[in-house]
Structure 1
Amino acid sequence: MRKKQRTLLERIWQEVECPYLSDLRLHWYLGERIAQVVRQIPAGDFSADEWREAFCYLTGEQTDCRESQALRRKLLERMQEKILT
């Protein structure tokens, strides 16, 4: 039986090393660590749907963007804004 692949959110959560998935969006100070992890993940490793889900969950915003690379870039921009505020 094949092992289930982690979702993008699960990968970010595990690599950020916080206790709960919900901590990723509840604690502003994790923005820098999330950005570091996302920079290490090639856009093509996950579908645009996975990137959109991660973007919406982590930012609380909706997006109609449909390209993995653009969604990854938008997520990094939002994490940078989170760090600066």
Structure 2
Amino acid sequence: MPKPSLLELLANQCECPYLSDLHTQPYHYPLRNVVLQLAADNYSDQEWRDSFAYILGRKPRAQAAEEIKQELIQTIGEKK
């Protein structure tokens, strides 16, 4: 069985009925909790960049997976 993409994993772990639900505020708290538990090196820098851009609609400032992960955690934690 192939490894799911980062976005697929996040949507599944957050119990999103649709991938696009990751954009919405109600899923930010569970999304933050899932991302906190993930090892950044399980996915490539590019996959983290693409996922960040998909979820937040902008490119991350960071370039490396761990830094992008931390930026995502911080950013979705601020959106209330």
Output the aligned Cα RMSD. 1.1
Q: Give me the whole-angstrom Cα distance separating, in 2, the residues matched to 1:49 and 1:64.
A: 13
Corresponding residue number in structure 1 for 2:43: 46
Corresponding residue number in structure 2 for 1:28: 25
Structure 2 residues without counterparts, runs of 5 or longer: none
Q: Give me the whole-angstrom Cα distance separating, in 1, the residues matched to 2:70 and 2:62.
A: 11
Aligned residues: 80
1:15 to 13, 24, 32: 13
Instruction: Say whether the 8 Å CA contact 2:62–2:71 is kept in structure 1.
Output: no
The answer on 1:5 being equivalent to 2:3 is yes
SS at match of 2:19: coil
Q: Give me the whole-angstrom Cα distance separating, in 2, the residues matched to 1:31 and 1:66.
A: 22
CA deviation after TM superposition for structure 1 residue 64, in Å: 5.3
More deviation in 60-69 or 70-79? 60-69
For residues 7-65 of structure 1, the C-alpha deviation after alignment (integer angstroms, 9 at most, x for no partner) is: 1000000000010001110x212111000000110111110011101110111111353
**Aligned amino acid, residue 44 of structure 1:** D
Structure 1 residues without counterparts, runs of 5 or longer: none
Bigger Cα Rg: 1
SS at match of 1:22: helix
CA deviation after TM superposition for structure 1 residue 66, in Å: 2.0
